[in-house]
Structure 1
Amino acid sequence: MSGVPVSFRLRRVWWSAKTSPFPVTIFTTATLDRLDMLETQCKSYPGGPHAAAVYVPLVQEHGGELTIPNEQLIALAESRVQALFDRMEGIVNACHMHVLLLYEVTSDPALAHLTPINGLRNAALLAVRTPLLVMVDVDLCVSASLVRFLSEPSNGDKLVASSSNTFWVLPAWDVSAGLSRVEIDHIAESALAGDKMTLAKLWASGRLHWFGQLYFQLGHAPTNYTRWLLSRKSYLIDYSIGYEPWGILSRDRQVVVPYDARFRGCYNDKITQVVTLHHSRILFRALPNAWVVHRPHTLNPAAGIAKNRTGSTTSLTGVGSLSEVVSMYGKNASKFEHHKDWSHVLLDDSIVRMLAARYRPFPGRAYAYCRSVLPWMENLKRQNLISGDGTRRRRLRGR
């Protein structure tokens, strides 16, 4: 299921009338069932620019004109995003929101439940207009300390000047899933508004964990959370395979090394992006006084199957579609298992090509076209980093 070319259609764009002095744009993705998370994230970044790609999958037998029911669905989605945008525009202490509403038509219900996450990230990336950006998944919020830091213009200037070859890691924290909704929100707000001492106390009490601590330590252990809590200065992080932090990066570096749009669902999408940055000689450094916080939530069908928690997913219909057994490549397995296998193949193949200095990103045709015609890409073309058609000019070199 991964590897199927993404075919987005752009329904509408919303663009905030507000202007921001912050040099960092948050960009993210969301499905309709996560618009509440998008609103919460926006409110955590008051005064900051924010770009989001909202995705709606539509299932029908043909790929031409939308059926009447699907036209009604996308119209309803448009009205919901409009309402969210209007609320955020009317709130002083909210982000400055830019939203792209995208839909995809497929005849396969299983494919509709494997969100083309990297293709959406690339779409949101193209809406960024600041020199720096940070991809933050929609179920995370940024700390108040980051907003305070960026509110001082000299700090923003220093961050821009030091980011040409640096990925500034924002350590990620996760509220314990065994708490009530009220407790989860209270702890998340405390962690976002507090300082490092607050984080340390919540961690010691077991109500807060560093991200992946309980189920996938490879993803964030290199950050070294004990060292980070005790450090007042940034430090260099030793990259290791599997690392998938969130962090601040130069927009120019990010658009040259975009997300691999062949990945859908929930396997290896961000890991592949980070290893790509590593092989392009980006350095990872811990930002000492800013972080992100994740709240536990209902899982989408693919994540529910992956974590063996299908009873707490947003769609049991989606679970059923992904569990359908089919024969592919001589193997009888569920569509989800085929998707998982192919995601691992894509990661392995990408790493082999990087080590051989033969890897080129696969951002998707739509992204490559947009990159070829956007005026702000002209500087990258003059530096010979991308070609006239928007593809990467130079192969990535291994270390």
Structure 2
Amino acid sequence: MVLLTWLYIIVCNFESGKSLLLSPCLVDQSELSYLERDVLTSRMQMVEKENQQLRVQLRQSQGVARVQEGNYGNQQWMASADRGPEDAGNTAEERGNNSDCSHRSMVEKCELIHVACVCAGHNTSRDVITLVKSILFHRKNPLHFHFITDAVAHKILAPLFQSWLVPSLQVSFYDADNLKPEVAWVPNKHYSGIYGLMKLTLTKALPTDLAKVIVLDTDITFATDIAELWAVFRKFSGPVRNVSDGWRVILLLLDRLRRIDWEQMWRLTAERELMSMLSTSLADQDIFNAVIKQNPFLVHQLPCFWNVQLSDHTRSEQCYTEVSDLKVIHWNSPKKLRVKNKHVEFFRNLYLTFLEYDGNLLRRELFGCPSQPSSESLRLQSALEELDEDDQCYEFRRERITVHRVHLYFLQYEYTPTEDDADVTLVAQLSMDRLQMLEAICKHWEGPISLALYMSDAEAQQFLRYGQASEVLKNRKNVGYHVVYKEGQFYPVNLLRNIALRHVNTPYVFLADVDFLPMYGLYSYLRKSITQLDMSHTKKALVVPAFETLRYRLSFPKSKAELLSMLDMGTLYTFRYHVWTKGHAPTNYAKWRTATTPYKVEWECDFEPYVVVRRDCPEYDQRFVGFGWNKVSHIIELDAQEYDLVILPNAFMIHMPHAPSFDISKFRSSSSYRYCLSMLKEEFHQDLSRKYGAAALKYLTAERNI
């Protein structure tokens, strides 16, 4: 016994690299300022208890005895993180803190960790990304996320994870609508509604071959590797304690819960409790607590540092003694960022770090852990191998195949289809420097809008605060904001347009730019024109004539007559008449001045009008990035598909002045930029000829005759 004791102490000292007398295996450093005999004696008693476990493990390895299901007496089926300080006095062994010897990972290298979340709606889908970032940042193991989602959350999260391309990460989705009948009968007053009860159904919702899972709320942030929590599955032991109402972090042994018929158990308990309770106020927490009260053997309570909540009192501080003890921060209210806790600045910085953390940096490989790459990753790798890194235009070609993270419907979105099937959505793209245009556009266009926003993670949060504070934007629910996260050297203008175009819910689209203000009433006018020109049975592109002003403050014209007067006075001009006449010359502004009916025009070289077309129109060519030929190439393909270009006589839009973009500055100053653009144009013509045959030769001929 003595030999084993000192052998254990020496080994721990060797592994921790610390002084023998100050080893954390012997004594808690926060309590030890000098070695006193009674303290050393108490710590030696703890070592002796650990030696008992060591002897059992030795007997196992020698085949002397088999210990059923390990040495941890798994009598429990679940564990929860209490949010109170009741566990604050636990020993290091019970608390599982960061002591070098008392804590060992107990998770195999490359062991797959399963995590489940219930996620519904736009706001929760946004919150869960911060949680995921914090987990990915610390993790050293492969992960499998299981999301129980409604239709909205699935529409957001599925493309987000598909475009994120994180190695060694699997994601599965389960339809919450299929689970609603299981819990819809439970009266519930909690703000989360029916989705707050979904955790009760996990034994049925998740795959039957899944034995254990960590269940998390979406409003928490990890400050440690989630493997530490996964290791708790092997420590379901010790005295059973009553569970409190903190069910934010739950470990479920699904196989054992199924064995005892968990579904029947919670249903019977809920029916009995509701006879007196009438309805739940804490959703699933009330039912979990009632079940555990009747069956205390089911639960192994987690220490409260797995669910630290800020408060104006000192309760949360009792859950940790130092930063290394923190495991999970629970942000169940935005007000938590404004409490007077002395640690609030540290907590706030921790939370904001992951809120604004560049998700692209989390695409790192887990070395030594083989993973099956996704089909998108294989396609990307194959495309990259075909590129020549010595090519002068390598960065342009690489941009075309870059996969950007996409967060669709970043803010709440609602759309109700119209009865006449002639509805039209304004489609545009923007970056942070054009954000000030959004309120004005919403005032000019009352119809649905689809916007792609090119932003970093930090800028996306700035936009969120802006959108939630703006009286104009927060009252408009028919605007779809789709965040495309920054990556690469160029502004992927046509990729952004395509993302906004793909997520339109109306039969027709108005392809515009965000620095244009449409005339008042244009939405209604376009809907009438769509019907009158029978666009549902013909291939037409309705052109909205473009004008511009050099004044930052403009008395916007309320009619065509007023606009013509401003043209004559020099307050307005035809768009780009002085720098790029060819871009809009085919509109024939002279004819438009007196026109009262729509008129058809022929395609001309470099024509790039803003048009209304059917939603199934060709997408933009994504090889064109930054400045130059991004709209021109699209109009060429519309013409190649025999769309008629029709000018609307009573429609107009006005370009508002702004500082030149970074990309146009590069175009003007870099000969290499201009050379690569000409190479891309040549390749576009070649691809067009292969796609449309001899009919496409006219575009190449027109280009060379200039």
Normalising by structure 1, we get a TM-score of 0.68
Correspondence 1:230 to 2:594: yes
- Structure 1: how far apart are the matches of 2:468 and 2:540? 33
Q: Is the counterpart of residue 133 in structure 1 residue 509 in structure 2?
A: yes
Distance 1:341 1:83 in 2: 39
1:262 paired with 2:638, answer: no
> Is this contact kept in 1: 2:432–2:459, CA < 8 A?
no
Identify if the C-alpha distance between structure 1 residues 154 and 171 changes in structure 2 by more than 3 Å, giving closer, same or farther: closer
Shift of 1:222: 0.3
Q: 1:26 aligns with which of 426, 450, 453?
A: 426
> Does 1:16 pair with 2:418?
no
Tell me, in whole angstroms, the C-alpha distance in 1 between the residues paired with 2:458 and 2:538: 42
1:353 Cα deviation after fit:
3.9
Equivalent residue pairs, number: 296
CA distance in 2, matches of 1:266, 1:225: 25
Shift in Å, 1:79: 4.2
Return the offset for 1:306.
4.0
Cα gap change, 1:218 to 1:118, in 2 (>3 Å): same
The 1-side partners of 2:572 and 2:528 are apart by 32
Q: Deviations over 1:117-138 (max 9, x none)?
A: 0011111111111111011111
The corresponding residue for 2:452 is 53
The CA deviation at 1:266 is 0.7
| Residues 38 and 139 in structure 1, CA contact (< 8 A), matched pair in contact too | no
Paired residue type of 2:396: S
Secondary structure of residue in 2 paired with 1:54:
strand
Q: CA 1:119/1:53 → structure 2, altered by over 3 Å: closer, same or farther?
A: same
Q: 1:2 aligns with which of 388, 396, 406?
A: 396
Please tell me whether residue 275 in structure 1 is matched to residue 674 in structure 2.
no
Aligned equivalents of 1:163 and 1:212: distance in 2?
A: 34
Q: Map 1:100-111 onto structure 2 (within 5 A).
A: 100-106=482-488, 111=489
Q: Is residue 42 of structure 2 the alignment partner of residue 42 of structure 1?
A: no
Q: For 1:264 and 1:154, how far apart are their aligned partners in 2? A: 35
In the alignment, which residue of structure 1 is the partner of 2:493?
A: 117
Map residues 104-183 of structure 1 onto 2, 5 A cutoff: 104-106=486-488, 111=489, 114-150=490-526, 155-159=529-533, 161=535, 164-175=538-549, 177=550, 179=551, 181-182=552-553
What is the rounded CA distance, in whole Å, between the counterparts of 2:408 and 2:638 in structure 1?
Answer: 31
8 A contact 2:424–2:523 mirrored in 1: no
Question: In 1, Cα distance between the equivalents of 2:504 and 2:656?
Answer: 25
Aligned pairs for 1:224-373 (under 5 A) are 224-252=588-616, 254=617, 257-306=618-667, 336-354=670-688, 356=689, 358-359=690-691
> Could you tell me how far 1:174 is from its partner in structure 2?
0.6
Instruction: Quote the Cα distance in structure 2 between the aligned partners of 1:85 and 1:397.
Output: 50
2:104 matched residue in structure 1: none
Shift of 1:348: 2.5
How far 1:352 moved relative to its partner? 3.9
Counterparts of 2:566 and 2:537, CA distance in 1: 31
Between the aligned partners of 1:38 and 1:208, the Cα distance in structure 2 is 22
Within 2, Cα distance between the matches of 1:243 and 1:303?
Answer: 19
Offset, 1:305: 4.4
Task: Give how far 1:215 is off.
Answer: 0.7
Q: Which has the larger radius of gyration?
A: 2
Q: 1:97 aligns with which of 465, 479, 489?
A: 479
* Contact 2:451–2:480 under 8 Å retained in 1: yes
**Could you tell me how far apart the structure 1 residues matched to 2:640 and 2:665 are?**
32
Alpha-carbon distance, 1:280 to partner: 1.4
The CA distance in 2 between the partners of 1:29 and 1:396, in whole Å, is 34
Query: Following the alignment from structure 2 to structure 1, what is the Cα–Cα distance between the partners of residues 435 and 677?
Result: 27
Higher relative contact order (CA 8 A, sep 6+): 1
Equivalent in the alignment of 1:60: none
Structure 2 CA distance, aligned partners of 1:396 and 1:100? 38
Tell me which amino acid in the other structure corresponds to 1:101.
V
Deviations 1:102-149 (A, max 9, x none): 11334xxxx1xx210001111111111111101111100111142342
Structure holding more strand per residue: 1
* 1-structure distance, mates of 2:643, 2:442: 28
Give the whole-Å Cα distance in 2 for the aligned partners of 1:155 and 1:223: 17
User: Per the alignment, in what secondary structure is the counterpart of residue 161 of structure 1?
Assistant: coil
Unaligned runs of 5+ in 1: 58-73, 308-322, 324-335, 360-393
- RMSD between aligned alpha carbons? 2.5
> 8 Å contact 1:268–1:344 — kept in the other structure?
no
The CA deviation at 1:7 is: 1.9
In the alignment, the residues of structure 1 paired with residue 597 and residue 469 of structure 2 have an alpha-carbon distance, to the nearest angstrom, of 40
In 2, Cα distance between equivalents of 1:302 and 1:251: 29
1:51 is paired with a residue whose SS is: strand
Deviations, residues 360-384 of structure 1 (Å, cap 9, x unaligned): xxxxxxxxxxxxxxxxxxxxxxxxx
CA shift digits 1:289-336 (9 cap, x unpaired): 1111101111221223446xxxxxxxxxxxxxxx7xxxxxxxxxxxx4
User: Do structure 1's residue 83 and structure 2's residue 447 form an aligned pair?
Assistant: no
Work out the percentage of aligned pairs sharing the same amino acid. Answer: 25
In structure 2, do the counterparts of structure 1 residues 76 and 214 end up closer, same or farther at CA, with 3 Å as the change threshold? Answer: closer
State the one-letter code of the partner of 1:125: L
The residue aligned with 1:219 is 583
In 2 relative to 1, CA 217–132 (structure 1 residues): closer, same or farther, beyond 3 Å? same
Q: CA 1:154 to 1:33, structure 2 compared with 1: closer, same or farther past 3 Å? A: closer
- In structure 1, what is the Cα distance between the partners aligned to 2:477 and 2:606? 31
Length-normalised TM-score, structure 2: 0.39
**AA at the equivalent of 2:661:** N
